[in-house]
Amino acid sequence: MDHRSTLDESLHRTEYLKNGDVFLEYGKPCTRIGKLISGVMRGFVYNDEGDEITTHFYQEGDVIIGSYIPNISMTMTIQAMEDCEISIADYAEVMSWVNKDREITEIITREFQKLNDQLQSRLVSLLNLSSVEKYELFLKEYPNLINRIPHYYVANYLGITPTQLSRARKQFIDKCK
């Protein structure tokens, strides 16, 4: 059996999560990766006051990788925001194939690059953009999520208050008229 077939077979293990269930938890080893088949998930960290800060959203088709290195303690928690179906694989096993199969190497590299690009875009937006510009970027990056997740998570992700998000949405709608 070739490595690709083994990967495909491994990713066919399916897990179902309910809204609020945790897929990967802060402080615990990152032992698995997943591909989100249906549902929405979010990644979050805690600030010094113990408040949750949403760092990432995952939607259908996204690969969920909690760490660049298998078995390293998670630096965030990844939680279902609605009922989810995820194809999962053992992370260490998948990473062991990276040097053995070029196609798997390309898939993993592409997913790491996508994650890195999203994090870089998010950092730039938090530092440089107005509330309206942040909202526009959110709509561009996650066009299917605005009506699926509570707006306080969107505001939290954008680094603004729910009131600021409400104003930004109104300004965006007025601008589009």
Q: Tell me which of 168 and 110 has the higher pLDDT.
A: 168
pLDDT digits (tens, 9 = 90+) for 33-58: 899 999 999 999 999 999 999 998 99
Q: Please state the length of the chain.
A: 177
Q: How confident is the model at residue 8 (pLDDT cuts 50, 70, 90)?
A: low
For 110-157, what is each residue's pLDDT tens digit? 877 887 777 777 777 777 889 999 999 899 989 999 999 999 999 999
**3-state per-residue secondary structure call for the chain:** CCHHHHHHHHCCEEEEECCCCEEECCCCECCEEEEEEECCEEEEEECCCCCEEEEEEECCCCEECCCCCCCCECCCEEEECCCEEEEEEEHHHHHHHCCCCHHHHHHHHHHHHHHHHHHHHHHHHHHHCCHHHHHHHHHHHCCCCCCCCCHHHHHHHHCCCHHHHHHHHHHHHHHHC
